[in-house]
Amino acid sequence: MDMRTRINAALKDAMKAKEATRLATLRLINAAIKDRDIAARGEGNDEGVNDTEVLAILGKMVKQRQESARTYEEGGRLDLAEREMAEITVIEDFLPKKLDEDEIKAAISSAITEAGADSIRDMGKVMGILKGKYTGQMDFGSVGPMVKDRLG
């Protein structure tokens, strides 16, 4: 089942169950995907976004909500921070399981071998392989320095 189908099925279930928070979050997800579809059409891609891009959108949405929750907590608005955390929980239902540190190290080693990387100049190839296989499963902001250490 592709991501759009899963999200739409969850949306219908949330409507039937009258789960307001879940429903609102799923509608936000659909809006973000449609926005990206429109941008893709402007670039000549009539197909819209694929599942990999949907995972990237979801990952970005989680990161945005984490930052917002942190800001709300610092500002003493715990009610708003809790709402952001509830949205994160809904979004993460559609993301693959996050890899632990050992799995990330193994993935980096595999990508380095696959790319035939032997210097820092090959970092782009390695990151491209990782992003292709593990979108939504690892934080590439923290993985980048790990790859750099291995190649450098």
Tokens encoding 119: 């210097």
Cα 135-52-42 angle, rounded to 5 deg: 130
Contact 77, 92 (CB under 8 A): no
Q: What is the pLDDT of residues 54-78, one digit of tens each?
A: 888 998 999 999 999 999 999 999 9
> Can you list the domains of the chain with their CATH numbers?
3-92 (1.10.1510.10), 101-151 (1.10.10.410)
Cα→Cα distances 2→7, 54, 118, Å: 9, 10, 36
CB of 25 closer than 8 Å to CB of 90 = yes
Q: What is the mean pLDDT of residues 10-37?
A: 94
DSSP secondary structure letter of residue 119: S
* More confident site: 149 or 85: 85
102-131 confidence digits (pLDDT tens): 999 899 999 889 988 888 898 889 899 998
Ramachandran angles phi, psi of 41, nearest 5°: -65, -35
Whether residue 1 is predicted with pLDDT greater than 80 in this model: the reply is no
- Note the pLDDT tens digit of each residue in 24-54: 999 999 999 999 999 888 888 778 788 888 8
- Higher pLDDT, residue 1 or 64: 64
Handedness of CA 32, 37, 38, 43 (dihedral sign): positive
Instruction: Give the model's pLDDT for residue 36.
Output: 92
